[in-house]
Amino acid sequence: MPDGQDRVNTSSTGGADDRALLRAVSAGDKEALRQLYARHSAVLFALALRVLSDRAEAEDVLQEAFVQIWRTAGSFDEGRGKPLGWLIMLTRSRAIDRLRSRKTRARVTESVAKDTSQTAEATTPADEALASEAQRTVRHALKSLPSEQRVPIEMAYFGGLTQFEIAQQLSQPLGTVKTRMRNGMMRLREQLGGAAGKGEHSS
Protein backbone atom coordinates (compact mmCIF):
# COMPACT_ATOMS: atom_id res chain seq x y z
CA MET A 1 0.00 0.00 0.00
CA PRO A 2 1.43 3.44 -0.91
CA ASP A 3 2.87 5.60 1.86
CA GLY A 4 0.28 8.28 1.19
CA GLN A 5 -2.50 5.87 2.07
CA ASP A 6 -0.64 4.69 5.16
CA ARG A 7 -0.76 8.22 6.53
CA VAL A 8 -4.54 8.58 6.12
CA ASN A 9 -6.23 8.69 9.53
CA THR A 10 -3.23 7.10 11.26
CA SER A 11 -4.18 8.99 14.40
CA SER A 12 -7.33 6.90 14.70
CA THR A 13 -6.37 3.58 13.11
CA GLY A 14 -2.59 3.23 13.03
CA GLY A 15 -1.51 0.21 15.07
CA ALA A 16 -5.08 -0.35 16.26
CA ASP A 17 -6.37 -3.82 17.07
CA ASP A 18 -9.15 -5.41 15.03
CA ARG A 19 -11.89 -4.28 17.40
CA ALA A 20 -10.77 -0.66 17.13
CA LEU A 21 -10.54 -0.98 13.36
CA LEU A 22 -14.10 -2.31 13.14
CA ARG A 23 -15.33 0.56 15.30
CA ALA A 24 -13.54 2.97 12.95
CA VAL A 25 -15.03 1.24 9.90
CA SER A 26 -18.51 1.58 11.37
CA ALA A 27 -17.80 5.31 11.64
CA GLY A 28 -16.92 5.48 7.94
CA ASP A 29 -13.11 5.27 8.14
CA LYS A 30 -11.92 3.82 4.82
CA GLU A 31 -8.32 3.58 6.02
CA ALA A 32 -9.46 1.26 8.81
CA LEU A 33 -11.12 -0.96 6.18
CA ARG A 34 -7.89 -1.00 4.16
CA GLN A 35 -5.95 -2.06 7.24
CA LEU A 36 -8.40 -4.89 7.93
CA TYR A 37 -8.07 -5.97 4.30
CA ALA A 38 -4.27 -5.91 4.50
CA ARG A 39 -4.29 -7.99 7.70
CA HIS A 40 -6.84 -10.65 6.85
CA SER A 41 -7.56 -10.79 3.11
CA ALA A 42 -5.08 -13.63 2.51
CA VAL A 43 -6.72 -15.86 5.13
CA LEU A 44 -10.24 -15.01 3.97
CA PHE A 45 -9.33 -15.58 0.32
CA ALA A 46 -7.88 -19.00 1.17
CA LEU A 47 -11.12 -19.87 2.97
CA ALA A 48 -13.27 -18.83 0.00
CA LEU A 49 -10.99 -20.71 -2.40
CA ARG A 50 -11.25 -23.87 -0.30
CA VAL A 51 -15.06 -23.71 -0.46
CA LEU A 52 -15.35 -22.78 -4.15
CA SER A 53 -12.19 -24.26 -5.76
CA ASP A 54 -12.25 -21.34 -8.20
CA ARG A 55 -9.88 -18.38 -7.88
CA ALA A 56 -12.07 -15.89 -9.75
CA GLU A 57 -15.12 -16.70 -7.68
CA ALA A 58 -13.07 -16.66 -4.47
CA GLU A 59 -11.84 -13.17 -5.36
CA ASP A 60 -15.44 -12.07 -5.97
CA VAL A 61 -16.50 -13.48 -2.61
CA LEU A 62 -13.63 -11.69 -0.87
CA GLN A 63 -14.76 -8.37 -2.36
CA GLU A 64 -18.40 -9.11 -1.43
CA ALA A 65 -17.34 -9.88 2.14
CA PHE A 66 -15.47 -6.59 2.53
CA VAL A 67 -18.38 -4.65 1.04
CA GLN A 68 -20.57 -6.25 3.70
CA ILE A 69 -17.99 -5.49 6.39
CA TRP A 70 -18.01 -1.84 5.32
CA ARG A 71 -21.79 -1.71 5.49
CA THR A 72 -22.38 -3.73 8.65
CA ALA A 73 -19.28 -3.24 10.84
CA GLY A 74 -21.47 -1.59 13.46
CA SER A 75 -23.36 -4.86 13.98
CA PHE A 76 -20.26 -6.67 15.29
CA ASP A 77 -20.80 -7.61 18.94
CA GLU A 78 -17.48 -7.44 20.76
CA GLY A 79 -18.86 -9.55 23.59
CA ARG A 80 -19.60 -12.54 21.35
CA GLY A 81 -16.20 -13.29 19.89
CA LYS A 82 -13.12 -12.04 18.10
CA PRO A 83 -13.32 -9.83 15.01
CA LEU A 84 -11.45 -12.38 12.88
CA GLY A 85 -14.05 -15.00 13.72
CA TRP A 86 -16.76 -12.61 12.54
CA LEU A 87 -14.86 -11.90 9.31
CA ILE A 88 -14.44 -15.63 8.71
CA MET A 89 -18.16 -16.23 9.33
CA LEU A 90 -19.17 -13.52 6.84
CA THR A 91 -16.77 -14.78 4.17
CA ARG A 92 -17.74 -18.42 4.63
CA SER A 93 -21.43 -17.49 4.40
CA ARG A 94 -20.85 -15.58 1.15
CA ALA A 95 -18.83 -18.48 -0.31
CA ILE A 96 -21.46 -21.09 0.59
CA ASP A 97 -24.23 -18.90 -0.83
CA ARG A 98 -22.33 -18.57 -4.10
CA LEU A 99 -21.65 -22.31 -4.18
CA ARG A 100 -25.36 -23.05 -3.75
CA SER A 101 -26.22 -20.56 -6.49
CA ARG A 102 -23.67 -22.18 -8.79
CA LYS A 103 -25.17 -25.62 -8.18
CA THR A 104 -28.68 -24.29 -8.83
CA ARG A 105 -27.62 -22.76 -12.15
CA ALA A 106 -25.82 -25.98 -13.05
CA ARG A 107 -28.98 -28.01 -12.40
CA VAL A 108 -31.05 -25.67 -14.55
CA THR A 109 -28.47 -25.77 -17.35
CA GLU A 110 -28.22 -29.55 -17.16
CA SER A 111 -32.00 -29.91 -17.29
CA VAL A 112 -32.26 -27.64 -20.31
CA ALA A 113 -29.38 -29.42 -22.04
CA LYS A 114 -30.99 -32.80 -21.37
CA ASP A 115 -34.34 -31.72 -22.76
CA THR A 116 -32.60 -30.24 -25.82
CA SER A 117 -30.53 -33.36 -26.50
CA GLN A 118 -33.61 -35.56 -26.35
CA THR A 119 -35.29 -33.64 -29.18
CA ALA A 120 -32.27 -32.52 -31.21
CA GLU A 121 -32.02 -35.70 -33.28
CA ALA A 122 -35.30 -35.18 -35.14
CA THR A 123 -36.53 -31.63 -34.86
CA THR A 124 -39.61 -30.93 -36.93
CA PRO A 125 -41.64 -27.74 -37.40
CA ALA A 126 -44.15 -29.22 -34.97
CA ASP A 127 -41.40 -29.72 -32.37
CA GLU A 128 -40.27 -26.13 -32.80
CA ALA A 129 -43.84 -24.92 -32.41
CA LEU A 130 -44.19 -26.91 -29.18
CA ALA A 131 -40.90 -25.51 -27.85
CA SER A 132 -42.00 -21.98 -28.71
CA GLU A 133 -45.31 -22.59 -26.95
CA ALA A 134 -43.48 -23.89 -23.88
CA GLN A 135 -41.35 -20.74 -23.79
CA ARG A 136 -44.45 -18.58 -24.03
CA THR A 137 -46.03 -20.55 -21.19
CA VAL A 138 -43.00 -19.99 -18.94
CA ARG A 139 -42.87 -16.28 -19.78
CA HIS A 140 -46.59 -15.95 -19.12
CA ALA A 141 -46.20 -17.75 -15.78
CA LEU A 142 -43.34 -15.43 -14.81
CA LYS A 143 -45.38 -12.35 -15.72
CA SER A 144 -48.18 -13.54 -13.47
CA LEU A 145 -45.90 -13.47 -10.42
CA PRO A 146 -45.79 -10.41 -8.17
CA SER A 147 -42.86 -8.20 -9.15
CA GLU A 148 -41.09 -8.81 -5.82
CA GLN A 149 -40.92 -12.54 -6.73
CA ARG A 150 -40.52 -12.25 -10.51
CA VAL A 151 -37.65 -9.75 -10.57
CA PRO A 152 -35.14 -11.71 -8.41
CA ILE A 153 -35.96 -14.94 -10.26
CA GLU A 154 -35.27 -13.28 -13.61
CA MET A 155 -32.06 -11.75 -12.24
CA ALA A 156 -30.88 -15.19 -11.06
CA TYR A 157 -31.78 -17.34 -14.07
CA PHE A 158 -31.44 -14.86 -16.91
CA GLY A 159 -28.81 -12.54 -15.41
CA GLY A 160 -26.72 -15.23 -13.68
CA LEU A 161 -26.58 -13.29 -10.39
CA THR A 162 -26.20 -14.89 -6.99
CA GLN A 163 -28.80 -14.29 -4.30
CA PHE A 164 -26.31 -12.07 -2.47
CA GLU A 165 -25.73 -9.99 -5.61
CA ILE A 166 -29.49 -9.71 -6.14
CA ALA A 167 -29.95 -8.53 -2.55
CA GLN A 168 -27.26 -5.90 -3.11
CA GLN A 169 -28.73 -4.64 -6.36
CA LEU A 170 -32.28 -4.51 -4.98
CA SER A 171 -31.12 -3.08 -1.62
CA GLN A 172 -33.06 -5.80 0.18
CA PRO A 173 -32.08 -8.17 3.03
CA LEU A 174 -30.66 -11.47 1.77
CA GLY A 175 -33.28 -13.42 3.75
CA THR A 176 -36.08 -11.48 2.08
CA VAL A 177 -34.69 -12.22 -1.38
CA LYS A 178 -34.35 -15.93 -0.61
CA THR A 179 -37.91 -16.16 0.73
CA ARG A 180 -39.41 -14.33 -2.24
CA MET A 181 -37.49 -16.47 -4.74
CA ARG A 182 -38.54 -19.66 -2.97
CA ASN A 183 -42.20 -18.60 -2.90
CA GLY A 184 -42.01 -17.50 -6.53
CA MET A 185 -40.54 -20.84 -7.65
CA MET A 186 -43.29 -22.70 -5.80
CA ARG A 187 -45.95 -20.63 -7.59
CA LEU A 188 -44.22 -21.20 -10.93
CA ARG A 189 -44.21 -24.95 -10.42
CA GLU A 190 -47.90 -24.88 -9.52
CA GLN A 191 -48.79 -22.83 -12.59
CA LEU A 192 -46.65 -24.82 -15.00
CA GLY A 193 -47.97 -28.07 -13.57
CA GLY A 194 -51.52 -26.83 -14.10
CA ALA A 195 -50.71 -25.80 -17.67
CA ALA A 196 -49.25 -29.24 -18.39
CA GLY A 197 -52.38 -30.89 -17.01
CA LYS A 198 -54.63 -28.79 -19.26
CA GLY A 199 -52.49 -29.67 -22.26
CA GLU A 200 -52.86 -33.39 -21.54
CA HIS A 201 -56.65 -33.19 -21.21
CA SER A 202 -57.01 -31.18 -24.41
CA SER A 203 -54.90 -33.56 -26.51
Q: In the chain, what are the domain boundaries?
A: 1-111, 123-203
- Say which CATH class 123-203 falls into: mainly alpha
Report pLDDT digits (tens) over 163-173. 888 888 788 88
Q: Per CATH, which fold does 1-111 belong to? A: Rna Polymerase Sigma Factor; Chain: A (1.10.1740)
Report pLDDT digits (tens) over 121-150. 444 555 455 555 556 666 677 778 888 888
Can you give the pTM of this predicted structure?
A: 0.48
CA distance 58 to 64: 10
56 burial type by CB count under 10 A (0-12 exposed, 13-18 middle, 19+ buried):
exposed
Report pLDDT digits (tens) over 36-83. 999 999 999 999 999 888 898 899 999 999 999 999 999 998 887 889
For residue 88, pLDDT over 90 is answered with yes
High-pLDDT (> 70) share of the chain, %: 67
Q: Same fold for the domain at 1-111 and the one at 123-203? A: no
